[in-house]
């Protein structure tokens, strides 16, 4: 998200805070890809990720009074998404974790089965990458965040993010070259 | 398929995946108490409905992804030791006691050291307190001379000889080893461990080592260092310092921040003639010829990779910084030629500028951009410019350039920052390209290692081999276009 987009997002957040509910759609359009690509690797379940993404915007609407306009709205939105995703995991009665990275890195089974979409490369990435690599790839390639933003979002050093991204892309390249997927 | 094409493919698939419309959110909102109340009190404020979009369905792919087996393969050869209760008091005056124990043998290396007024440790003030402590101190003194520059509360000493790297949950390196058997605990700089390393992760490492290798014997050598990337070159250069004479001080400068270490001599690299550079590279090549390949090879590989990726990250950061700054400067400057930037007095009409420092006040009001939005002020980019240029690691500006303190014109500031990024990119690339990338000898080294130790390779190649660099450079060149 560049500076102009960020400024627009801030304006939309303020509009929503002032009661203009139609600003929510604009917020949704500008951030949904980022939110989805953020929660999918946490939940590793397409339907749940979609549901959590939608619920995130309901929460944004509900909690907009708590939004501090001096803060980065992207981070605020992703914090809501993260909490909802963690709640979702906890609801599953799996191993509880309050640590975000623990949750991301957990070895939960990925239910990625869906009928209507054709996403072989993303599926392949999910299959062969480590959870944190998958998350970085999703945020960068799909969520269209910059490495710098991802570092901030995941609280990782920039070097770690670029390193993992390079490593992940190399793995993907190798797998694609070996024909390790179908189209 | 190159990096960029893969990214495009992922992005394209992502667009299909994220085709969910806002109507689903609206439906969920219908159950929101706040929305119900708002609708009741202000009936005009309702969400407008739009027609649904039909999604084109593609063939379903079956990859059998119903489960993923995550295999944790520990492939390190570990000859450990451990470091229970490594305690270093943060006091700058007291004599600090260190007790490094090896649970496997019940041996404990005890020694103490003094800390001077600058918070540094003088090697001559390290006192062994038992036999093993003597070995440790002797090991230290054999390898290092002078002072240990790191403040005492910033490093931890351990006693190890193993080939092992522990990474924390955030992917940061906690501990690794140089080819000389020296353990590095990363406490600051790139790949540094978190501040809670000493409490949480150190214990984890100790526990892990004890569990995996309970019967191994303790062997010595030690020490904490602060910079990852310096270790490879430093150790190689230090090992041959007397033989190489002035060379090490020509191509590299000694840096107090690395224990008796070296950093690229940027001034030399900037000013030197091709012949001088070639001469240095020939000598460096000679050093590479003498790397003890049969000794801790995996560690050598790790160091090499660390060295490369630190430089690469810095280069990528600068590329991104340069692109950001140029975009910001262009927004302010319009379509005028860039080379006229430096001639610029002010980018705005006088009547639009309340005072020479109008923007400075607003700059400090983080978050409140409304008053400066009319000038299309590149707040984020200025912050980013400072972030990129102030980075003190791996080739950033160590001290602020004078122009950075005199920000009375954002365009000129951005242009200066942009030029500085260019300069740093050139320096990094020149150095790195000359020393590693385009040095034919390096390929031979890697080939030799690969021939002798095929287990070090993946599909016959190091990740850092030529393909990686070609793709990466192409990727960023495209990005920059």
Q: What is the pLDDT of residues B29-41, one digit of tens each?
A: 877 777 777 777 6
Quick one: pLDDT at residue B433?
45
Determine whether the interchain pair A122/B7 forms a contact, defined as Cβ–Cβ distance below 8 Å: no
Quick one: pLDDT at residue A37?
87
Residue B67: list chain A partners with CB under 8 A: 109-110
Determine whether the interchain pair A142/B170 forms a contact, defined as Cβ–Cβ distance below 8 Å: no
Q: What is the pLDDT of residues B121-157, one digit of tens each?
A: 455 556 667 766 665 555 444 433 333 333 222 223 3
For residue B227, is pLDDT > 50? Answer: no
Residue A94, min C-alpha distance to chain B (Å): 16
Q: What is the pLDDT of residues A95-110, one digit of tens each?
A: 333 333 333 444 433 4
Q: What is the pLDDT of residues B420-444, one digit of tens each?
A: 777 666 655 554 444 443 333 444 4
Please give the backbone phi and psi of residue B124, each rounded to the nearest 5 degrees, phi first: -75, -10
Determine whether the interchain pair A160/B172 forms a contact, defined as Cβ–Cβ distance below 8 Å: yes
Residue A71: list chain B partners with CB under 8 A: 367
Determine whether the interchain pair A37/B67 forms a contact, defined as Cβ–Cβ distance below 8 Å: no
Quick one: pLDDT at residue A27?
92
Quick one: pLDDT at residue A66?
82
Beta bridge mates, B148: B121
Q: By the 8 A CB rule, do B259 and B223 touch?
A: yes
Q: Assess B187–A contact: CB distance below 8 Å, yes or no.
A: no
DSSP state of A45: B
* Comparison of pLDDT for A13 and B119, the residue scoring more: A13
Determine whether the interchain pair B25/A24 forms a contact, defined as Cβ–Cβ distance below 8 Å: yes
Quick one: pLDDT at residue B316?
65
Q: Assess B379–A contact: CB distance below 8 Å, yes or no.
A: yes
Q: By the 8 A CB rule, do A57 and A31 touch?
A: no
For residue A163, is pLDDT > 60? Answer: yes
Q: What is the pLDDT of residues B440-480, one digit of tens each?
A: 344 444 454 455 444 444 444 443 334 433 444 344 334 33
Residue A62, min C-alpha distance to chain B (Å): 6
Residue A164: list chain B partners with CB under 8 A: 171
Determine the residue among B31, B39, B48, B68 to mutate to test chain A binding: the one whose Cβ has the most chain A Cβ atoms within 10 Å.
B68
Q: By the 8 A CB rule, do A137 and A125 touch?
A: yes
For residue A175, is pLDDT > 70? Answer: yes
A vs B, Cβ pairs < 8 A, gives: 200
Q: 3-state SS of chain B?
A: CCHHHHHHHHHHHHHHHCCCCCHHHHHHHCCCHHHHHHHHHCCCCCCCCCCCCCCCCCCCCCCCCCCCCCCCCCCCCCCCCCCECCCCCCCCCCCEEEEEEECCCCEEEEEEEEECCCCCEEEEEEEECCHHHHHHHHHHHHHCCCEECCCHHHCCCCECCCCCCEECCCCCEEEEECCCCCEEECCCCCCCCCHHHHCCHHHHHHHHHHHHCCCCCCCCCECCCCCCCHHHHHHHHHHCHHHHCCHHHHHEEEECCCCCEEEECHHHHHHCCHHHHHHHHHHHHHHHHCCCCCCCHHHHHHHHHHHHHHHHHHHHHHHHHHHHHHHHHHHHHCCCCHHHHHHCCCCCCHHHCCCCCHHHHHHCCCCCCCCCHHHCCCHHHHHHHHHHHHCCCCCCCCCCCHHHHCCCCHHHHHHHHHHHHHHHHHHHHHHHHHHHHCCHHHHHHHHHHHHHCHHHCECCECCCCHHHHHHHHHHHHHHHC
Determine the residue among A119, A143, A167 to mutate to test chain B binding: the one whose Cβ has the most chain B Cβ atoms within 10 Å.
A119
**Spatial CB neighbours of A105, under 8 Å, sequence gap ≥ 6:** A130, A131, A132, B169
Q: What is the pLDDT of residues B381-405, one digit of tens each?
A: 555 566 556 554 434 444 455 555 5
Cα gap B248→B241, rounded to integer Å: 7
Determine whether the interchain pair B24/A54 forms a contact, defined as Cβ–Cβ distance below 8 Å: yes
**Spatial CB neighbours of B437, under 8 Å, sequence gap ≥ 6:** B469
Determine whether the interchain pair A142/B11 forms a contact, defined as Cβ–Cβ distance below 8 Å: yes
For residue A58, is pLDDT > 60? Answer: yes
Query: What separation in angstroms does the CA of A45 have from each of A54, B11, B367?
Result: 14, 19, 36
* Comparison of pLDDT for B99 and A139, the residue scoring more: A139
Q: What is the pLDDT of residues B47-94, one digit of tens each?
A: 444 333 222 221 111 111 111 111 111 111 111 222 222 223 223 233
Residue B363, min C-alpha distance to chain A (Å): 13
Q: By the 8 A CB rule, do B381 and B324 touch?
A: yes
Helix, strand, coil shares, percent, chain A, to 5: 70, 0, 25
* ipTM topping 0.90: no
Q: Assess B46–A contact: CB distance below 8 Å, yes or no.
A: yes
Q: What is the pLDDT of residues A24-43, one digit of tens each?
A: 988 998 898 889 888 888 88
Query: Cβ–Cβ contacts within 10 Å for residue A91, how many?
Result: 9
pLDDT band at A164 (very low <50, low <70, confident <90, very high): confident
* Comparison of pLDDT for B17 and A17, the residue scoring more: A17
Determine whether the interchain pair A102/B169 forms a contact, defined as Cβ–Cβ distance below 8 Å: yes
Q: By the 8 A CB rule, do A61 and A52 touch?
A: no
Determine whether the interchain pair A120/B61 forms a contact, defined as Cβ–Cβ distance below 8 Å: yes
Q: What is the pLDDT of residues B322-355, one digit of tens each?
A: 776 777 666 666 555 555 544 444 333 333 333 3
For residue B257, is pLDDT > 50? Answer: no
Average pLDDT in chain B? 47
Q: Assess B367–A contact: CB distance below 8 Å, yes or no.
A: yes
Beta bridge mates, B121: B115, B148
* Comparison of pLDDT for B372 and A84, the residue scoring more: A84
For residue A53, is pLDDT > 50? Answer: yes
Query: What separation in angstroms does the CA of A71 have from each of A1, A181, B369?
Result: 15, 42, 12
Quick one: pLDDT at residue B363?
37
Q: What is the pLDDT of residues B280-292, one digit of tens each?
A: 655 555 554 444 4
Q: Kindly state the tokens that stand for A106.
A: 């957990």
Determine whether the interchain pair A159/B310 forms a contact, defined as Cβ–Cβ distance below 8 Å: yes
* Comparison of pLDDT for B19 and A19, the residue scoring more: A19
Query: What separation in angstroms does the CA of A43 have from each of A20, A68, A111?
Result: 31, 28, 9
Of A105, A110, A115, the CB nearest to B169: A105
Give percent above pLDDT 70 in chain A. Answer: 76
* Comparison of pLDDT for B107 and B322, the residue scoring more: B322
Query: What separation in angstroms does the CA of B269 have from each of A23, B159, B277, B366, B368?
Result: 54, 37, 7, 40, 44
Determine whether the interchain pair A141/B11 forms a contact, defined as Cβ–Cβ distance below 8 Å: yes
Q: What is the pLDDT of residues B146-191, one digit of tens each?
A: 333 332 222 233 322 222 333 333 333 334 333 333 333 333 322 2
Cα gap B29→B33, rounded to integer Å: 8
Quick one: pLDDT at residue B286?
55
Q: What is the pLDDT of residues A108-138, one digit of tens each?
A: 334 444 444 567 888 888 888 887 888 889 8
């Amino acid at each position: 998200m560049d500076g102009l987009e960020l400024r627009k997002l801030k304006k939309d957040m303020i509009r929503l805070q002032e009661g203009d509910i139609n600003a929510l759609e604009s917020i949704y359009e500008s951030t949904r890809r980022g939110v989805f690509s953020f929660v999918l690797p946490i939940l590793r379940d397409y339907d749940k990720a979609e549901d959590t993404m939608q619920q995130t915007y309901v929460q944004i609407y509900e909690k907009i009074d708590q939004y501090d306009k001096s803060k980065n709205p992207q981070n605020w939105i992703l914090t809501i998404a993260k909490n909802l995703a963690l709640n979702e995991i906890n609801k599953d009665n799996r191993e509880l974790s309050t640590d975000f990275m623990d949750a991301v890195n957990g070895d939960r089974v990925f239910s990625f089965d869906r009928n209507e979409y054709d996403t072989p490369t993303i599926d392949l990435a999910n299959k062969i990458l480590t959870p944190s690599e998958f998350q970085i790839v999703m945020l960068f390639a799909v969520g269209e965040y910059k490495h710098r933003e991802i570092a901030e979002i995941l609280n990782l050093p920039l070097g770690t993010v670029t390193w993992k991204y390079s490593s992940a892309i190399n793995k993907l390249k190798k797998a694609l070259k070996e024909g390790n997927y179908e189209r | 398929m190159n990096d960029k094409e893969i990214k495009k493919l992922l992005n394209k698939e992502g667009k299909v995946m994220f085709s969910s419309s806002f109507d689903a959110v609206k439906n969920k909102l219908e159950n929101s108490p706040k929305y119900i109340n708002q609708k009741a009190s202000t009936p005009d404020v309702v969400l407008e409905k739009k027609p649904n979009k039909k999604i084109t369905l593609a063939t379903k792919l079956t990859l059998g992804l119903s489960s993923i087996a995550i295999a944790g393969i520990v492939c390190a050869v570990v000859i450990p030791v451990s470091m229970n209760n490594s305690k270093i008091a943060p006091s700058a005056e007291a004599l600090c006691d260190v007790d490094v124990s090896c649970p496997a043998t019940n041996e404990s290396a005890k020694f103490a050291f003094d800390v001077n007024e600058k918070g540094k440790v003088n090697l001559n003030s390290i006192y062994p307190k038992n036999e093993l402590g003597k070995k440790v101190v002797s090991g230290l003194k054999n390898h290092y001379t002078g002072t240990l520059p790191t403040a005492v509360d910033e490093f931890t000493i351990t006693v190890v000889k193993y080939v092992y790297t522990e990474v924390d949950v955030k992917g940061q390196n906690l501990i690794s080893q140089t080819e000389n058997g020296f353990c590095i605990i990363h406490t600051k700089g790139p790949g540094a461990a978190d501040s809670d390393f000493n409490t949480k992760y150190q214990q984890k490492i100790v526990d892990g080592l004890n569990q995996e290798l309970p019967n191994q014997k303790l062997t010595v050598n030690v020490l904490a260092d602060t910079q990852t990337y310096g270790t490879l070159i430093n150790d190689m250069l230090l090992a041959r310092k007397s033989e190489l004479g002035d060379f090490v001080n020509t191509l590299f400068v000694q840096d107090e921040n690395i224990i008796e270490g070296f950093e690229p001599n940027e001034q030399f690299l900037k000013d030197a003639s091709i012949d001088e550079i070639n001469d240095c590279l020939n000598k460096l090549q000679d050093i590479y010829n003498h790397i003890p390949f049969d000794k801790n090879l995996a560690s050598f590989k790790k160091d090499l990779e660390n060295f490369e990726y630190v430089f690469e990250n810095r280069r990528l950061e600068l590329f991104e910084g340069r692109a950001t700054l140029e975009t910001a400067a262009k927004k302010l400057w319009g379509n005028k030629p860039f080379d006229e930037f430096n001639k610029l007095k002010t980018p705005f009409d006088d009547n639009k500028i309340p005072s020479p420092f109008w923007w400075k006040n607003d700059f400090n009001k983080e978050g409140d951009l409304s008053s400066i939005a009319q000038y299309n002020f590149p707040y984020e980019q200025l912050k980013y410019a400072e972030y990129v240029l102030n980075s003190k690691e791996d080739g950033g500006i160590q001290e602020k350039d004078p122009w950075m303190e005199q920000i009375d014109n954002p365009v000129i500031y951005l242009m200066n920052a942009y030029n500085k990024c260019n300069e740093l990119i050139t320096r990094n690339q020149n150095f790195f390209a000359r020393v590693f990338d385009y040095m034919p000898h390096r390929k031979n080294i890697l080939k030799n290692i690969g021939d002798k130790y095929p287990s070090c390779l993946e599909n016959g190649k190091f990740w850092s081999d030529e393909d990686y660099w070609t793709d990466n450079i192409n990727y960023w060149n495209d990005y920059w276009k």
